[in-house]
Chain A
């Protein structure tokens, strides 16, 4: 295969990532399956899978306005939940049988309240309380919160989430993580067979369709990628860090300008798969809590863990031989704004070129972003 663009599997993933509804969800629903939307990777999809539900990661794909959502949120609120909620208000999320928000930030935590107040017909609406620091006491708290959510899911959907079902779900999701790790390994090559934009599509698709099918498809894609001989020369290898990143906009700009995005520290990327959940022990929910609180404290809302996030970024930069890092922060995201402020001096000290900016979730001013990234790439290439 000459390029991934010819791959039928990639076309499928790309199509899934570019819209909300897809044929996999339609088939799932036709067979009587139910779908639960969830906002943040701290909300463990394993619990929904163990309940026989299809977890769908919420996003604002395809949104062009927040006119309806602005009745509920002010424009000082982050565009990610606003656009996503707007889509719900105009019926684009009508396929959901459940919606789960969490306390990951001050705006997302209100989406559950607004979902109810707006009278959206989703039968199950829930808000999960996170831990906001990393430690054994916090694991205990998050475990309790997961137990409550599990009970609520069981009651709502009239199912029993057994220990064995949770173990099976963790195993399935770990398989996904391991396959995605292989995908990322390919990006360490001098001429990766997959671009940053293409990777975003593959990752987003993994949160938008049944895992069993995704894993099967991803295996085929990985085989296909093994046959690609990419001889394109890139001006620089970049990493993206920061908020959300469920769209290909930034990668598209960088890659149109001759660079390539080879890795990331975002919650649609490495945050979801860089480590697996322990399959040992007799309390899988506790293992999930431990994983979220202790193993992957990569959201800046988890206080006291900036050193771990910084170390992860430094390690990724080294492993993927990046020439520079692009930090993006959605306007109004206080946790990432603070994080990027700290990283600015730390990356400078480490000698890693770094640019960061605030942007709208769905930006109007693409030209401005392009100009800044172009200047950054030119600067890197002169070093």
Chain B
């Protein structure tokens, strides 16, 4: 964590963001349910701006699963999710969400939007949700995201988002105000631009702030109920401004002597805080980018017409959100982003988490390794379980990365 002793701006930003991120947690959802408020659940993430324009609270079940893996009771719940028997090699984070559903830990929503992105086990989760008896009477809408990235496929998915929005309007009784959606989208465009600016600032040597700021920026500006909220724009502007100041002062991360810059090319593991902090402190190895600490670029939402707006939502989700972009994209999409980020953030090495549940990454591990090494870029693939440290501990991953840095000549 960075701090600026003069004005404590980073501390203030942290306090504020902690407050904003509470909205993502299961507890907030349970609170809404207790109060009898209408809310939606989803295993998609494709229409965040629409939800915000409707003022309709919604939560993602896989996100509940992922967050729960960081809770004190996580190992017990992970074991229970495995005992369900839904595939021995399925992603632990998603299986956790499935277990939470079956165990009645998630309150019954007013409506459900169910989809297939980004991967096979999310499709399995969709069927589990659809056939979960206590929620049999909950209205549901199904979405089928394409892998094809052509303009016509984006229009096709944009139409589905429009239909899903109409579904939400019908069930919630709230009319979607297109002017408000336009306003939120334009504000969200500003926020995405600020995240990109933050990314550019992070590319300074030494990098001015640690990886947690990118994660926080994504959480509050791309997830949850405050997308397109000027309060978040203001937060991002202050973060960018404070970061810019550090760059001008040539300040690196407090307490860290930067020696190696690496990208963690996957979602942040539950052990991330422990692992990345140790890598930075002991080796001077700083984490520059990951699937949450992700600066874009983001497709601007074209607000010139309703159709253009919904097609842009499709593009922003399928072409910009890294998990969907990579899991449903091609080998080239995947490696192009490695090369882009490696160059833009002046990285020295690529570390792929290679989560055992990410079949689509595992199924191209050899090709990725070949292509990246052909460019002379050091790469290691870990093969951990992002959500269950017992599979490979933070210490084991640390040792693996340390050895890789040594063998690559990055650590002497």
Contacts and interface: CB of A to CB of B under 8 A. Distances in A.
Interface of A: 71-74, 76-78, 81, 103, 105-107, 109-111, 113-114, 117, 127, 129, 131-133, 135, 137-138, 140-141, 144-145, 300-301, 303-304, 306-307, 329, 331-335, 337-339, 341-342, 344, 358
Scoring A138, A300, A304 by chain B CB atoms within 10 A of each residue's CB, the highest score goes to A304
B123 A301 contact: yes
A135 B142 contact: yes
24 contacts: A78-B359, A106-B119, A106-B359, A107-B363, A110-B331, A117-B367, A132-B123, A135-B144, A137-B144, A137-B156, A137-B160, A140-B156, A141-B153, A144-B153, A145-B148, A300-B127, A303-B144, A304-B130, A331-B89, A332-B87, A334-B86, A337-B124, A338-B127, A339-B127
Contacts of B143: 133
A138 B153 CA distance: 11
A335 B90 CA distance: 10
A114 B121 CA distance: 22
A129 B123 contact: no
B364 to A, nearest CB: 5
Contacts of B156: 137, 140-141, 144
A119 B243 CA distance: 46
B259 to A, nearest CB: 31
Contacts of A103: 147, 328
Given A106-B360, A137-B159, A334-B124, 9 more contacts: A74-B354, A106-B120, A107-B363, A110-B360, A113-B330, A132-B123, A137-B160, A303-B142, A342-B127
Nearest to A306: B127
A334 B144 contact: no
Contact of A113 (B88, B114, B367): B367
B366 interface: yes
Given A74-B383, A140-B156, A334 B123 contact: yes
Given A76-B359, A304-B114, A333 B87 contact: yes
B350 interface: no
B62 interface: no
A140 B157 CA distance: 11
Contact of A334 (B120, B131, B332, B356): B120
A304 B142 contact: yes
Contacts of B84: 341
A303 B123 contact: yes
A72 B120 contact: no
Nearest to A113: B331
A337 B87 contact: yes
B142 A338 contact: no
Interface string B22-38: 00000000000000000
A303 B86 contact: no
A120 to B, nearest CB: 13
B123 A72 contact: no
A300 B125 CA distance: 11
Interface residues of B, number: 54
Interface of B: 84-91, 114-116, 119-121, 123-128, 130-131, 140, 142-148, 152-153, 156, 159-160, 163, 327-328, 330-332, 354, 356, 359-360, 362-367, 370-371, 383
A110 B360 CA distance: 7
A135 B366 CA distance: 37
A145 B370 CA distance: 30
Nearest to A102: B147
Contacts of A334: 86-87, 89-91, 119-121, 123-124, 359
A137 B330 CA distance: 24
A257 B364 CA distance: 41
B360 A338 contact: no
B363 A77 contact: yes
Nearest to B124: A338
A332 B163 CA distance: 33
Nearest to A358: B88
A307 B370 CA distance: 44
A71 B88 CA distance: 22
A140 B152 CA distance: 11
A339 B124 CA distance: 7
B400 to A, nearest CB: 16
A117 B86 contact: no
Contacts of A105: 120, 359
A300 B120 CA distance: 10
A304 B360 CA distance: 22
Given A304-B114, A358-B87, A338 B128 contact: yes
Nearest to A329: B87
Nearest to A145: B148
B359 A131 contact: no
A344 B332 CA distance: 40
A138 B383 CA distance: 35
A252 B345 CA distance: 58
A303 B370 CA distance: 35
Contact of B331 (A107, A117, A300, A342): A117
A333 B123 CA distance: 11
A333 B159 CA distance: 30
Which 8 A-B pairs give the minimum distances between C-beta atoms? A338-B124, A337-B87, A110-B363, A133-B144, A74-B362, A113-B331, A334-B120, A106-B359
A169 to B, nearest CB: 24
A338 to B, nearest CB: 3
Given A131-B144, A334-B90, A109 B360 contact: yes
A117 B359 contact: no
B298 to A, nearest CB: 24
A81 B114 CA distance: 28
A332 B359 contact: yes
A246 to B, nearest CB: 20
A306 B126 CA distance: 10
A145 B144 CA distance: 14
Nearest to B360: A106
A337 B90 contact: yes
B124 A335 contact: yes
B127 A114 contact: no
A110 B327 contact: no
Contact of B363 (A114, A127, A331, A337): A114
Contacts of B148: 129, 145
A111 B152 CA distance: 25
B366 to A, nearest CB: 4
A303 B90 contact: no
A339 to B, nearest CB: 7
B364 A106 contact: no
Contact of A132 (B91, B116, B360, B367): B116
